[in-house]
Amino acid sequence: MSRSKTNVAVGAFVALGMVAIAFMALKVGNLVSFDSGVGYRLEARFDNIGGLRVRAPVKSAGVVVGRVEAIHLDKDTYEAVADLRIRPEYRFSSDTIAAIVTSGLLGEQYLSLDAGGDSRYLVDGERIIKTQSAMVLEKLIGQFLYNKAAETSGDRK
Amino acid sequence: MPEPLDAPLIELKDVRFGYGGRLVLDGLDLTVPRGQILAVMGGSGSGKTSLLGLLGGRNIALSGSVKVDGNEVGSLNGAKLYALRRRMGMLFQFGALFTDLSVFENVAFPYREQTDLPEAVIRDLVLLKLEAVGLRGAADLAPSQLSGGMARRVALARAIALDPMLMFYDEPFTGLDPISAGIIGRLIQRLNVAFGMTSLLVTHDVNETLRIADRIVVISEGRIVRDMTPQELRSSDDRFIRQFADGLPDGPVPFHYPASPYAGQLLGDHDVHA
Amino acid sequence: MTFMLDFLEGLGAAALRVLARLGLATGFFQAVLARAPGSAKRFGLLVREVYFSGVRSLAIIVVSGLFVGMVLAVQGYEVLQRFGSADALGSLVALSLVRELGPVVAALLFAGRAGSAVTAEIGLMRATEQLAAMDMMAVDPITRVVAPRFLAAVASLPILAVIFSSAGVIGAYLVGVELIGIDSGAFWSQMSASVDFRLDVLNGLFKALVFGVAVGLISVFEGYHAAPTAEGVAGATTRTVVISSLSVLTLDFILTVLMFRGLN
């Protein structure tokens, strides 16, 4: 194998590596669709965040508009605080409702934003007031059984 | 500071060298004047190859002085040692050609690594050196396509590429048929004269040595025990020399490894074996 | 009692041998790293070694990647469809490949394919006195022979790892979408929603880089310090594959804990 053929082969090898990186960036990963650090921050407080995790998507009407950046517990109120990073092109009214929703019955949990009608928009660092906590299956079932029990006991009377 | 021309090229004084707790050279003295072809002989493991290592700076003496062209080899640092080695050539026992390079590239290697000569000049120099060993026609072959004798001639062309002042030959005749050995021997002699080199051969081959060497030294038990010309060796009736020169199995150098008496071991002294 | 003493003595001797070897290796690694910058200037040497280590490993990497991706798709689908989450196949496969399997399996294959070849080559050069000849020609064998092979491993493995992951994703696509019939849009969107370029892809690449350093150093060390005999070289080649594989898996665990512990 001559020197130049080797060079060509190695050049093609490196080029293939670059194509693979581009594939990773554009198709497999989400470098273009969302770059962390870009956009403005919002805060939302929940009684229970369920299975919501850092980096979970924030969606509005099913479209990804941002990501959960950090989650921590407020030491005084024992509320879960989620920091959201929202892409700059999307703006939400101050009466927007943030809800933790599950995609599918057992799928990944994400944060859903339902825009309201207020004319004032939320700005960087502001807090979403209206929130709806995650549904916890055990509580749901417990509630259902309690209601059922109440119904049946009511029927007897 | 170049040494005066009449100063000896190699001077070893009271050299001790060993490894793994075993002393190989013990109080060796040797002086080699410029232009000489010196053959170093001795049994296997007598320290002949260690001697080449010391002179090339690959081994460091435990004590004593190893001087080549006035330089104390053991005390040279990396760059200075390499500067000295550029003026040395070494032919390894089986040639040690680079298996991934062609014959041409093997000989070109020292030029490419040590000089900035243009490609055309390198080409001419390589062909010149190959011509000197009679293998210009084999330039495009791979080392694996060469016979043992040819490989050693290519290695010789590579070793003399930078016109060294001092050549080392490590067992240059081992494993060669008499014709190839004769060719190598004649090349050693011719190159020594043509390039004004000094040559140091480590060898067992008495016939070839007698033909080409100016002087023969014999190493035994870590020091030089005989120092003579080929004529003296031929006519010597020293028992040790005769055993060595004629290849006698037993003599001053015993055939048997030291052991307990044979009869005793056969007759039931089983502890010796168990 | 004597049995205990024998055992302890053996253990002590073994520990001392390992320590001596580690000491030797540390000194050698320092020498290689010190010579690496000078060696990198000889670009032609590096290109040649990337050809032999990287390009020549491409076939095994691509084929293995495809098959690993295909198997992941079949097995992943089996499990996911029980929970009605077959759409998540893309993200399952991509995360497994990018974070773990790409760097780790590529490194294991690389140790077997290229690392062993480097060890055998350097070991043979030593056994046939080629390294000694080079040294006597005032050419430093570590700069000329060892360092380029080490650098080539460091340069090649990240490239091979990302190619492995890509091939795996394509393999999973072929099986998951073309064969099983998962929706192609769901496959890709689930994947890109869960794979973060910086956290997953770049961390995976960093792992591959660390593995490249480890496999590269082990390969050249074993070759350079192989006993100059046929058995010595054969043993060194085996050791390269065994020690490289164990190091890659150990390093992978450590890196994974450091990188991904905070995430979930």
Give residue-wise pLDDT tens across range A33-70. Answer: 445 567 899 999 988 888 787 778 888 888 888 888 88
CATH number, domain B10-98+164-236, options 3.40.640.10, 3.90.1150.10, 3.10.450.50, 3.40.50.300? 3.40.50.300
At residue B108, the pLDDT reads: 93
Q: According to the model, what pLDDT value does residue C4 have?
A: 85
Three-state SS at A89: coil
Q: In the prediction, which pLDDT does B1 show?
A: 47
The first and second tokens of residue C177, run together, are 């979408």
Which amino acid is located at B212 in the chain?
I
Q: How far apart are CA B97 and CA B90, in angstroms?
A: 12
Contact C137 B92 (CB under 8 A): no
More confident residue, B135 or B234: B135
At B213 the three-state DSSP class reads: coil
pLDDT at residue A23 is higher than 50: yes
| Residues A85 and A67: beta-carbon distance below 8 Å | yes
What pLDDT was estimated at residue A37?
64
Is pLDDT larger for residue C91 or for residue C105?
Answer: C105
- The answer to whether residue B262 scores a pLDDT higher than 60 is yes
Q: What angle do CA B65, B222, B173 make, to 5 degrees?
A: 100
Burial label for C98, CB within 10 Å (0-12, 13-18, 19+), is buried
Q: What angle do CA C218, C111, B97 make, to 5 degrees?
A: 70
Q: How far apart are CA A114 and CA C72, in angstroms?
A: 37
CB-nearest partner of B94 from C128, C134, C136: C128
Query: Is the pLDDT confidence value at A25 over 50?
Result: yes
Query: Which residues of chain C are within 8 Å of residue B86 when distances are taken between CB atoms?
Result: 137-138
Query: How large a percentage of chain A has pLDDT more than 90?
Result: 15
Asked whether the predicted pLDDT for residue C145 surpasses 80, the reply is yes
- Per-residue pLDDT for B2 more than 60? no
In the block, tokens 């003493």 appear at C5
User: Tens digit of pLDDT for each residue in C235-253?
Assistant: 999 999 999 999 999 999 9
Mean pLDDT of B165-188: 88
pLDDT at B207: 83
Angle at B128 between CA B182 and CA A2, to 5 degrees: 105
Tell if the CB–CB gap between A30 and C197 is shorter than 8 Å: yes
Chains linked to A by 3 or more Cβ pairs within 8 Å: C
Chain B contacts in chain C segment 143-162 (CB below 8 A): 144
The predicted-structure confidence for C67-84, as pLDDT tens digits, reads as follows 999 999 999 999 988 887
Cβ within 8 Å, pair B99-C144: no
pLDDT number for residue C207: 95
Mean pLDDT lowest among A76-80, A104-108, B131-135, B260-264: A104-108
The model's pTM is: 0.79
- Residue B3's pLDDT band (cuts 50, 70, 90): low
pLDDT for position A36 = 55
Cβ contacts of C47 within 8 Å, gap of 6 or more: A6, A7, A10
Residue-level pLDDT at A156: 59
Average pLDDT, chain C: 91
Span A152-156, average pLDDT: 69
- Of residues B244 and C216, which shows the higher confidence score? C216
**CA B191, B194, B200, B203 torsion-angle sign:** positive
pLDDT band at residue C43, thresholds of 50, 70 and 90?
Answer: confident
Distance CA B32, CA B68 (A): 10
Predicted local confidence at residue C146, as pLDDT: 93
Higher pLDDT, C146 or B270: C146
Extents of the domains making up chain A: 1-32, 40-142
Question: Would the pLDDT of B168 be above 80?
Answer: yes
A117-137 average pLDDT score: 84
Nearest to B187 by CA among B174, B172, B177: B172
pLDDT for the residue numbered B18: 85
Q: Give the pLDDT mean for C44-68.
A: 94
Residues of chain A in contact with residue C57, where contact means CB-CB under 8 angstroms, are none
Average pLDDT over residues A116-131: 87
- Chain A residues whose CB is inside 8 A of the C156 CB are 13
Q: Which residues contact A124 (CB under 8 A, 6 or more apart)?
A: A40, A41, A42
**Contact assignment for A24 to C162 by CB distance below 8 Å:** yes
Chains B and A touch (3+ CB pairs under 8 A): no
Q: What are phi and psi of A147, to 5 degrees?
A: -60, -45
Q: Are B255 and B57 in contact (CB under 8 A)?
A: no
| Nearest CB to A9 within list C55, C156, C196 | C55
Residue type, C82: R
Measure the CA angle with vertex B149, ends B146 and B150; round to 5°.
40
Res. B272 pLDDT band, cuts 50 70 90? very low
Chain C interface mutation, best of A28, A53, A68, A137, highest count of C Cβ atoms under 10 Å:
A28
Q: Which residues of C touch B98 (CB under 8 A)?
A: 125, 130, 133-134
Q: pLDDT per residue over C108-136, tens digit each?
A: 999 999 999 999 999 999 999 999 999 99
Task: Using a CB–CB cutoff of 8 Å, tell me whether A8 touches chain C.
Answer: no
- ipTM confidence: 0.83
A157 has a pLDDT exceeding 80: no
Is the Cβ pair C132, B97 closer than 8 Å?
no
In chain C, what residues touch A7 (CB-CB under 8 Å)? 47
Q: Please count the other Cβ atoms lying within 10 Å of the Cβ belonging to residue A124.
A: 10
* Pairing state between β A130-132 and A126-128: unpaired
Q: Kindly tell me if the per-residue pLDDT of B70 is higher than 50.
A: yes
Query: Minimal Cα distance from A25: which residue of C?
Result: C197
Are residues B169 and B203 in contact, defined by beta-carbon separation less than 8 angstroms?
yes
Contact A10 C195 (CB under 8 A): no
The mean of the pLDDT values for chain B is 85
Instruction: Name the residue of chain C whose CA is nearest to A34's CA.
Output: C196
Q: Distance between CA atoms of C40 and C47, rounded to whole angstroms? A: 10
- Facing residue for C50 by CB, picked from A10, A23, A33: A10
Q: What is the mean pLDDT of residues C170-177?
A: 94
pLDDT at B274: 42
Question: Searching chain A, which residue's CA lies closest to the CA of residue C185?
Answer: A27
Is pLDDT above 60 for B269?
no
CB-based contact B85 C138, cutoff 8 Å: yes
Give residue limits of the domains in chain C.
Answer: 57-253
Q: Which residue has the higher pLDDT, B250 or A84?
A: A84
From A36, A117, A121, select the one nearest A84 (Cα to Cα).
A36
The pLDDT score that the predictor gives to residue A115 is 86
**Interchain contact C139–B (C-beta under 8 A):** yes
The rounded distance, in Å, linking the Cα atoms of C175 and C186 is 14
Residue partners of A103: CB distance under 8 A and separation at least 6 = A109, A110
Every domain of chain B with CATH number 3.40.50.300 lies at 10-98+164-236
Residue B245 has pLDDT above 80, yes or no: no
Instruction: pLDDT band for C166, please (50, 70, 90 cuts).
Output: very high
Nearest by Cα to C185 from C85, C108, C90, C120? C90
- Under a CB-based contact definition with an 8 Å cutoff, are residues B156 and C133 in contact? no
Q: For residue C218, what are the contacts with CB-CB under 8 A and spacing of at least 6?
A: C111, C115, C240, C243, C244, C247
| Mean pLDDT of the region C1-23 | 87
Q: How far is A122 from chain C (nearest CA, A)?
A: 25
